[in-house]
Amino acid sequence: MREPPPPMMSAPMMMDRKKIMIAAVIALGLLFLMVGAMLVDLSKTVLPSTATPDQVIAQENLGRVWGPLVAHFGIFLFVLGLFAAAVYAEDLDVFVRLFLLIVAFVALLLVLANSPTIFG
């Protein structure tokens, strides 16, 4: 009688759920950063001379409240995703994991320093 064949291994290109979630968090963070920057830029458009005071206030709120709020949530997700990739992706090289931690730290410093490069 013959031996049973060895168990099949999954393809090395397949990503497990952990890696997919980390990639999704990083991508969502970048998406929210983009949307926040778009809201801030949208608030700088010139209103027509017939704009009501409510429209002027809404446009100011767009640039001073909603844009930075969305962008800060995006940078939070981005830093969280980078940190999660550095900690939970065990198959990465040590230097890649260190680089991810350094990039997450620099992104966090940009937020803490309230750098104008985030919002243009």
- CB proximity list for 64: less than 8 A, separation 6 or greater: 43
How do residues 3-33 score in pLDDT, each as one tens digit? 887 776 655 556 688 889 999 999 999 999 9
CA dist 71 and 53 (Å) reads 26
Q: What is the pLDDT of residue 48?
A: 84
Q: What is the largest CA-CA distance in the chain?
A: 90
Cβ–Cβ under 8 Å, residues 61 and 40: no
Banded model confidence at residue 103, pLDDT cuts 50, 70, 90: very high
Q: What is the pLDDT of residue 28?
A: 97
How much is the pTM? 0.77
CA neighbours closer than 13 Å in the CB half-sphere of residue 96:
8
Q: Does residue 118 surpass a pLDDT of 60?
A: no
